[in-house]
Chains A and B, each alone.
Chain A
């Protein structure tokens, strides 16, 4: 059978794609040659983006409250903003004032009463309880002592950890210091900033970009507000249930459940491990099985009752997509990437759905409005 000749149109398309790929590679190559300059520019951008992004996230939480007050006739903007600001600062202050003493007391008690017991267990009693048998335990123990594995690992990790912590904390602290001022001005001129941003966009794209922006705002806003509500609820419920079952250090473990709830799937495991391990080592009441049961029930109720209603299916994604995005964005942006993996993935989905809709609209015959003629 004779082969069909390649059409000119197809050939042109292939050449065009190849040219684009080559040009992209050339740009990347050039960029790599000037990596110092790029690092300098990226650092400058980072210094701006972190506080701006934080201010934007806080604005997504606070602006609906300001709008609510204005709807109720509490205005002008300055007054409603001042009320919301004072309430927010008051809540943050109260949280620190009432919660911190509990946390400090429990952590101090842990190091005074139980830390030594746990250390003794790990070095002596663990051998008898080791699930793979005492022989395997002895071999692992000998290997670790002979190779000085733990000390080598600590020597290698600690300096890196301290460097990365300082490089992460310093911009974050600067951002936290600048953020309230940025937030104040952003909320004061919320609509005007939106209008100015819209005016930059060419007129023929303005409507579509505004629609996309509003969808992104809605998705990320819904995620942040819903997640905060869930964290608060699940943290409080876990603290009370832990106290009811008689678990020591219930406050620290409960706060841990609330904080790690921001990481989908992995957060649950991260929060459940410390109380289960503690109750296993410390013995007495409650047993590790009961603590595990409490965690499973809490997560079941949160995942099947609270989350679907609060998030309203706005961020409903396949678990695999969420896990892959956590791994990907976690490796790209570190801890912040893990925390914001879900909203970033949801935003990408918003982009994808939007462009798909636009493509479908452009393919429809003009004036038809997508309806079938009778």
Chain B
């Protein structure tokens, strides 16, 4: 008998939508992590750099959305039992994105004393979103110890 409360199986279209918009949202922080790591901020005007990065991200978002909707029917028919690899990708961009947000805060002139506070708040928020997404879309519970 089919259980009444079955968890919905999500298609690759929904997963790719999540991954794409997460990437676009966290693209600027992820790039800023690299600029911070290699001191690129000392060679270029970082505010101008962020501005161009923002324009690039918006353009990429528009192109990516168009491509995703063009392949919608094809991706809707593809389903996987778990999306482990995709979840690891999301985990990584979130981890670096988290640090990137702290870097962005620093670049935008935020008080360095409160970086830890910013990090903790964003970390808690991201962890909640990741757990929620993991359970609902990526079948996170299947990855646990059997």
Contacts and interface: CB of A to CB of B under 8 A. Distances in A.
A196 interface: no
B96 A316 contact: no
Contacts of A240: 33, 36-37, 99, 103
B115 interface: yes
Interface in B7-63: 33, 36-38
B124 interface: no
Given A236-B33, A239-B37, A244-B115, A309 B143 contact: yes
Nearest to A301: B95
A312 interface: yes
Contacts of B106: 244
A233 interface: yes
A292 interface: no
Interface string A283-323: 00000000000000000000001100110110010000000
Given A233-B95, A236-B96, A240-B33, A309 B103 contact: no
Given A240-B99, A244-B115, A309 B37 contact: no
A98 interface: yes
B96 A98 contact: no
A98 B38 contact: yes
Interface in B100-129: 102-103, 106, 112, 115
A241 interface: yes
A218 to B, nearest CB: 14
By DSSP majority rule, is chain A's interface helix, strand, loop, or mixed? helix
A210 interface: no
Contacts of B33: 236, 240
A233 B92 contact: yes
A309 B91 contact: yes
A237 B87 contact: no
B145 interface: yes
A243 B37 contact: yes
Interface in A221-258: 229, 233, 236-237, 239-241, 243-244, 246
B88 interface: yes
A137 B140 CA distance: 55
Contacts of B112: 246
Contacts of B96: 236-237
B95 A309 contact: no
Contacts of A244: 99, 102-103, 106, 115
Contacts of B36: 240, 243
Contact of B37 (A236, A305, A310): A236
Nearest to B32: A240
A333 interface: no
A266 interface: no
B112 to A, nearest CB: 8
A102 interface: yes
The 3 A-B residue pairs whose C-beta atoms are closest, nearest first, are: A240-B99, A313-B145, A244-B115
Most chain B C-beta atoms within 10 Å of own C-beta, residue among A236, A237, A240, A310: A240
A310 B95 contact: no
Most chain A C-beta atoms within 10 Å of own C-beta, residue among B33, B37, B103, B143: B37
Interface in B67-111: 84, 87-88, 91-92, 95-96, 99, 102-103, 106
A102 B42 CA distance: 14
Contacts of B95: 233, 237, 306
A65 to B, nearest CB: 13
A240 B101 CA distance: 12
A182 B93 CA distance: 35
A229 to B, nearest CB: 8
Given A233-B92, A233-B95, A243-B36, 6 more contacts: A98-B38, A229-B88, A236-B33, A244-B99, A305-B91, A309-B91
Contact of B145 (A102, A310, A316): A316
Nearest to B39: A102
B38 A309 contact: no
Contacts of B143: 309, 312
9 contacts: A102-B38, A233-B92, A236-B37, A239-B37, A240-B99, A240-B103, A244-B106, A305-B91, A306-B91
Nearest to A240: B99
A240 B145 CA distance: 32
A239 B96 CA distance: 12
A361 to B, nearest CB: 21
A138 to B, nearest CB: 41
Nearest to A302: B95
B61 to A, nearest CB: 24
Nearest to A98: B38
B41 to A, nearest CB: 11
